[in-house]
Structure 1
Amino acid sequence: MPEDTVLDIPASRPNAYSGSPLDRASNRREDATFIEAAISHPDTLFAPVWRARSLMRRDAAGAPQAVLLTGEAASAVRMAGGPWAFLGLWDGRPVFAVDCSAADDPLPLLPADLGEFTDLRAVAGQLPPGEASVLAHARGLMHWRTKHRYCGVCGGNCEPRSAGNAMQCTQCGTQHFPRTDPAVIMLVIRQDRELGPCCLLGHSTRFPNSVMYSTLAGFVEPGESLEEAVRREVLEETGVSVGRVHYHSSQPWPFPASIMLGFHAEAVSERISIDPEELRDARWFTLAQLRDPEANGFALPRLDSIARRLIEDWMEAMA
């Protein structure tokens, strides 16, 4: 097999939800005087989260924009009584996340025509990178806060610390910090003697889109290196053995609490044997098929996903 079957392919551009404009200013989280002043300042920005959705509106051209609240609007949302947390500084302005999920409908709390709560994943590819990153940060942290009210050690109630970036048990004193689960995501490729460069894509049992094929992915297990996780997941899901593994890029994925670690991986076997609990189908796709997926009866992953970036960067390198 040619040595250049797998290239060290650089990321062509930042992944969605990365490139945050925030200075997380972690040194200010324990400064109660600063936090108290910031949270009540009229210029402070708040990113509201309602049942895992973010507040957005459309501009005159129909493009989505993040809506960050200030002043009275921010106070009204905070009155819903949900958790909040300091995210950092954006050009010197404090930014907080606030969860208003306790309200059955938070829009009446806000000025008219301010926007609506939308699934971030549906529009992230259309948002400016900085806005998508801040909204993802807020969503992920608020998810952790709402799901971590009790101590995993003794079951006691937890109270926020570090301006909402940590929780502490009121009974045993254990401190808990936000959790991010590492997951590997990989485009497996090989060189076919007749068809040329090919890549392995699967149709997951969890895909809502009945014709979408995407890269393989899975969580890293305890005591496992990232390269080992790539090889294990590919073998378990498709029966294909993987040799060399090359890192590409990473993507925050707070849906609800992951980071995707992207790789290109070299197949050293061809035969596919799928795990029916994970995949409905898996196939080798040629460059010609990938260039016109609709004509070939399938769809590629969404533009905001690292899966799409792994495919497109490989296609560009093979051109």
Structure 2
Amino acid sequence: MLSIPASRPNAYTGSPLDRAADRREDEAFIAAALADPDTLFVPVWRARSLMKGVQEGHPEAVLLTGAAAEAVRMAGGPWSFLGFWERRPVFAVDCSAADDPLPLLPRGDGWDGIGFTDLRTVAGLLPEGEAAVLAHARGLMHWRTKHRFCGVCGNLCEPRSAGHVMLCTGCGAQHFPRTDPAVIMLVVRGERCLLGHSHRFPHTAMYSTLAGFVEPGESLEEAVRREVREEAGIEVGAVRYHSSQPWPFPSSIMLGFHAEALSEEIRIDPQELRDARWFAPAELRDPKAHGFALPRPDSIARRLIEDWLAQAS
């Protein structure tokens, strides 16, 4: 099976940030950056990101400075240092404790149409790099809000390293941000590819690539073969890496592959899939006419399909 390269970067990649991990332990620098009126803050409210222009179809990230940043910080939620954007410090701040953080912001020119939006609905429309920064903030704030207590002894944890470590006040265990690896694969046999209809999409006609989390003690290739066998009963041989995509919804990274099927008969696991089928290129090029839908454009699933389709006859 030929390796099919990624045709372009995936959504949520290409971050413009210098993560500057060496500055996280510099308490004087962090304190000065937090007080600097030019520092940028990326607010997260109940897993949503602050944007403008969404209704017009031209979304842009809204990063706060000065009095506006201080207002959301006063909500008392967790924060973390993300790095530098064009030499300006950038922090994520969670303002989910406020029932509605918008009234906290000082109003002014250019603030019409600003609101908190689910990043997944607009990622493909955001300017280059902005989706990556918002995803970074979203993922880190999810971890901060979900790891307030120690998983070893249950005591309260306190943030360290500018919000990148949670230190247990009881047993002293250190907890770090986690990313759960998941494999996602387009399985190909001859001139057709395998797509499944998941229980996660009961009200749509979407068919997508198969996917699943990597288990302990398992290589990525082994995870691909196991997931395809478990979900669709198809045996897989060669596995070729394609690309990866951060997927902080809430805390995954998708590792994309093209995989060669060694068998053809589909035997779905009804607990995992409602249906699975082999699709020809002509069907994928006009899914609406054939009664199904493809995955969302910002997903690596869609990229795996499109890049294979570009090389198909």
The residue aligned with 2:289 is 295
- List alignment gaps of at least 5 residues for structure 1: 1-5, 192-196
The Cα of 1:132 is off from its aligned counterpart by 0.1
Alignment equivalent of 2:69, drawn from 59, 67, 74:
74
For the 8 Å contact 1:18–1:129, the answer to whether it is kept is no
1:88 has 2:116 as partner: no
Aligned with residue 223 of structure 1, among 214, 217, 224:
217
Q: Give yes or no for the alignment of 1:124 onto 2:123.
A: yes
Give secondary structure in 2 for the equivalent of 1:8.
coil
Q: 2:277 aligns with which of 267, 272, 283?
A: 283
Partners of 1:129 and 1:120 in 2: CA distance: 14
Counterpart in 2 of 1:194? none
Query: Is this contact kept in 2: 1:49–1:138, CA < 8 A?
Result: yes
Quote the offset at 1:40 in angstroms: 1.1
1:239-258 equivalent positions in 2, closer than 5 A = 239-258=233-252
- The aligned residue for residue 9 of structure 2 is 14
In 2, Cα distance between the equivalents of 1:149 and 1:129?
33
Is 1:62 aligned to residue 57 of structure 2?
yes
Match of residue 31, structure 1, among 26, 31, 40: 26
What letter is aligned with 1:81?
G
> What is the alpha-carbon root mean square deviation over aligned residues?
1.1
Matched, 1:273 2:267: yes
Tell me the SS of whatever aligns to 1:129.
coil
TM-score, with structure 1 as normaliser: 0.95
> How far apart are residue 62 of structure 1 and its match?
3.4
Displacement over 6 Å in runs of 4+: none
Deviations along 1:102-158, one digit per CA (max 9) or x if unpaired, are 000111011343510000000001112300000000000000000000001110100
- Residue identity matched to 2:230: E
* 1:281-306 deviation line (CA, Å, top 9, x unaligned): 10000000000000000000001000
- Report if aligned partners of 1:17, 1:129 keep a CA contact under 8 Å in 2: no
Partner of 1:186: 185
How many aligned residue pairs are there?
Answer: 309
Q: 1:280 to 1:154 in 2, by over 3 A?
A: same
- Once the two structures are TM-superposed, the CA of residue 49 in structure 1 deviates from its matched residue by 0.2
Q: What is aligned with 2:205?
A: 211
Partner of 2:300: 306
1:208 Cα shift? 5.3
Unaligned runs of 5+ in 2: none
Per-residue Cα deviation, 1:71-115 (whole angstroms, up to 9, x for no partner): 100000000000000000001000000000000011101134351
Distance 1:84 1:99 in 2: 6
CA distance in 2, matches of 1:258, 1:15: 14
Q: Residue 200 in 1 paired to residue 194 in 2?
A: yes
CA contact (8 A) 2:6 2:307 kept: yes
1:265-293: CA deviation from partner (whole Å, max 9, x where unpaired): 00000000111111001000000000000
In structure 2, distance between residues paired with 1:34 and 1:174: 25
* Other-structure match for 2:157: 158
Please give the secondary structure, in 1, of the residue aligned with 2:52.
strand
Deviation by residue 1:22-52 (Cα, 9 ceiling, x = unmatched): 0000000000010001011111000000000
Q: SS at 1:117's partner residue? A: strand
How far did residue 7 of structure 1 move? 1.8
Residues 156 and 169 of structure 2 are in contact (CA less than 8 Å); yes or no, is this contact kept in structure 1?
Answer: yes
In the alignment, the residues of structure 2 paired with residue 244 and residue 62 of structure 1 have an alpha-carbon distance, to the nearest angstrom, of 41
Counterpart in the other structure of 2:132 = 133
In the TM superposition, residue 57 of structure 1 has moved relative to its aligned partner by 0.5
Q: Distance in 2 between matches of 1:238 and 1:54?
A: 36
- Give the corresponding residue for 2:92: 97
For 1:34, what is the secondary structure of its paired residue?
helix
Distance 2:235 2:245 in 1: 25
Match of 2:46 in 1: 51
